[in-house]
Amino acid sequence: MTTAAMDLQILRAFVLAAKEGNVSRAAERLHLTQPAVSLQLKRFAEETGLVLFTRTPHGLALTADGAAMLPQAERVLAAVGDLQQAARKLQGTVRGALRIGTILDPEFTRLGVFLRELVEAAPQIETELRHGMSGSVLAQVLRGDLDVGFHLDPGDDDQAATTPAPALSVRPLTRFTYRVVAPAGWGPQVQGRDWKALAALPWLATPPESAHHRLLERVFAPLGLSPRRVAMVDQEASMLDLLKSGIGLSLVRDSIAIRECQAHGLAMADRVQLDCALRFVSLASRRDEPVIASAWDALAKAWN
């Protein structure tokens, strides 16, 4: 007898007949007629070439060969059950690629925790990280070049003017403050100064896609001011290096600003600050796609 010739229904009939010791009860559990089960037991005996049962006044009793075959048959049925369960799980497995727009440092966005939750819940998803500036990440999400992304926004009443919110699914993650930081020794130039006085000092400029640029435009444009820009930077690490080198002023996240001022003697303006919000976004029209929905679920776990 070959494995290919084995009929699983025959195996089930054999196992149940052996456990019940009765063809009628085995037939009831299989939802078959008694003659049908009897025929299956006969076929199994013929295919194995073994005498599997003896008849007793009380029903069926396994022979020594039948008793030896029973655990083998049970293992085959258990293996088939495991295979079927694995197939069902795979049918519900989320697969695909997820393009994630990242900004700032991974610790601040909890990127590592987010990815860990995603991998544990949906290991078949392949992730692609694209690091950039906040505005460029948002633009790529809106164009469909990114599936999800982190974004910085002032988060006030003018939010809709810069972010087409109806097109987006948005989750606010945390709010924080930007401080104006100056090189060491510039304390007298920034302490007690307002935005108008600070605009006259040299600034480290950032591209329009950056949150720094958008935040400062919201402050200086209504005042009719244009800060004196002495260098263009697009990375926070480069910005801090230029600050320490004495080039000019910049916005720095409050936690980093306090640390750098303490460690390197940088100066911090004490009369001004700007609030900002970190958000997670995707297109609203794609929110329920399985891969993107998995990302939202992972994010919720990472930020709860």
**Does 31 reside within a domain?**
yes
Together in a domain, 56 and 67 = yes
Last residue of a domain, one of 70, 90, 110: 90
Looking at residue 58, what is its pLDDT?
A: 82
* Structural domain range at position 186: 176-275
**Does 1 reside within a domain?**
no
Together in a domain, 170 and 296 = yes
CA distances to 138, 194, 245 from 155, rounded to whole Å, are: 14, 23, 33
**Does 124 reside within a domain?**
yes
Tell which residue, 45, 79, 77, 46, has the closest CA to residue 63.
45
Decide if pLDDT at 1 tops 50. Answer: no
Q: Say what the alpha-carbon torsion angle 239, 244, 248, 254 is, to the nearest 10 degrees.
A: 60
Q: How confident is the model at residue 151 (pLDDT cuts 50, 70, 90)?
A: very high
Tally the domains of the chain.
3
HEC letters along 153-211: ECCCCCHHHHCCHHHEEEEEEEEEEEEEEECCCCHHHHCCCCHHHHHCCEEEECCCCCH
Together in a domain, 170 and 286 = yes
Last residue of a domain, one of 69, 90, 111: 90
Together in a domain, 47 and 128 = no
- Is the entire prediction scored with pTM above 0.75? no
CA distances to 113, 205, 209, 239, 250 from 142, rounded to whole Å, are: 25, 26, 14, 28, 29
Together in a domain, 182 and 269 = yes
Together in a domain, 104 and 236 = no
* CATH code where residue 251 lies: 3.40.190.10
Together in a domain, 213 and 64 = no
First to last CA, the chain: 58
Q: What is the pLDDT of residues 76-105, one digit of tens each?
A: 999 988 887 777 666 667 889 999 999 999
What percentage of the chain has pLDDT greater than the value 70?
92
**Does 161 reside within a domain?**
no
Looking at residue 161, what is its pLDDT?
A: 40
Together in a domain, 255 and 231 = yes
Together in a domain, 222 and 242 = yes
Last residue of a domain, one of 90, 112, 132: 90
CA distance 93 to 107: 29
**Does 3 reside within a domain?**
no
Residue listed under structure tokens 């600034």: 203
Decide if pLDDT at 5 tops 50. Answer: no
Together in a domain, 260 and 190 = yes
**Does 76 reside within a domain?**
yes
Q: What is the pLDDT of residues 57-71, one digit of tens each?
A: 888 999 999 999 999
Q: What is the pLDDT of residues 102-129, one digit of tens each?
A: 999 999 999 999 999 999 989 999 999 9
Cβ neighbours for 182, distance < 8 A, ≥ 6 positions apart: 189, 190, 201, 243, 248, 249, 266, 267, 268, 269
Together in a domain, 137 and 259 = no
What percentage of the chain has pLDDT greater than the value 90?
78
Question: What tokens does 24 get?
Answer: 């009628």
Question: 244 — phi, psi (to 5°)?
Answer: -65, -25
Q: What is the pLDDT of residues 205-225, one digit of tens each?
A: 999 999 999 999 999 999 999
Tell which residue, 42, 46, 14, 44, has the closest CA to residue 27.
14
* CATH code where residue 26 lies: 1.10.10.10
**Does 23 reside within a domain?**
yes
Together in a domain, 170 and 182 = no
74-79 contact pairs (CB < 8 A, 24+): 74/15, 76/6, 76/8, 76/11, 77/8, 77/11, 77/12, 77/15
